[in-house]
Amino acid sequence: MELVLFDLDNTLLGGDSDYEWAQFLIEQGVLERASYERRNQDFFDQYKAGRLDIHAFLDFQLAPLAQYPRAELDAWHLQFMALKILPIISGAARRLVSRSLQAGHLCAIVTATNSFVTAPIAREFGVAHLVATEPEQIGGRFTGKVSGTPCFREGKVTRVEQWLAAQGRHWNDFSETRFYSDSHNDLPLLERVTHPIAVRPDHPLKQTALARGWEVIALD
């Protein structure tokens, strides 16, 4: 059996679900445009530059989840999927995931974006396993804090290993391990698998992939 891991934002998606969720809330009037739009862009720019403070970002990203009942959040997410996410899922991305699932590989989406935003997206792809940053919940309501290790940079390796261990598995149980990603922020996990694949890579990842002879693809 092979282990196949997929990054989500700008890999399976032709955009960033983190960024789009905040933009959606701004457009719905849930978040105040002037301050949130600027901060959302600032964090996105920091991520692309490889200097994101993940804890500062999560304080920003998770705060709105704590302010509203889950039923209202879920209703917004349905609109978010239709307006923001479905239009940025390409047929090529769907086929890539489908081939791995049909081949009987163990597949997971591994993303820094929190599981409230990304679980419905994973279901849209038909992927049962999601390794994501987990927002803390108490009594069925989000607290605005993160639970456990954020699934970011080295944290992606930690979280994948925790997920595998929970299933009684280890890296060495697989004949091959693959990870698809667009970002140099994912180098720790790309370096951990036997077959790293760069998908529409950012410039630093493209340079690394070319230097190391990694496969480079585009899901257009």
In angstroms, the Cα distances linking 110 to 31, 161, 179, 189, 211 are 27, 11, 9, 10, 25
Average the pLDDT over 189-201 and give the result. 98
Q: Clarify whether 45 is annotated catalytic.
A: no
Please tell me the pTM assigned to this model: 0.95
Per-position DSSP letters for 139-205, written without gaps between them: TTEEEEEEESS-SSTHHHHHHHHHHHHHTT--GGGSSEEEEEES-GGGHHHHTTSSEEEEES--HHH
Range with lowest mean pLDDT among 3-12, 22-31, 156-165, 189-198: 22-31
pLDDT tens profile 53-93:
999 998 888 999 999 999 999 999 999 999 999 999 999 99
Burial class (CB in 10 A: 0-12, 13-18, 19+), 165: exposed
Catalytic residue, chosen from 9, 16, 182, 186, is 9
Q: In the chain, what are the domain boundaries?
A: 2-217
| Res 60: pLDDT | 87
Q: Collapse the DSSP code of 46 into the 3-class scheme (helix H, G, I; strand E, B; otherwise coil) and give the result.
A: helix
The percent of residues in the chain predicted with pLDDT above 70, rounded, is 100
pLDDT at position 193: 98
- CATH of 2-217, picked from 1.10.10.60, 1.10.1750.10, 3.40.50.1000, 3.40.630.30, is 3.40.50.1000
φ, ψ (nearest 5 deg) of residue 76: -65, -40
pLDDT score, position 146:
96
Between 174 and 40, residue with greater pLDDT: 174
The SS3 assignment for 135 reads strand
* List 7, 18, 182, 202, catalytic entry: 7
173 is catalytic: no
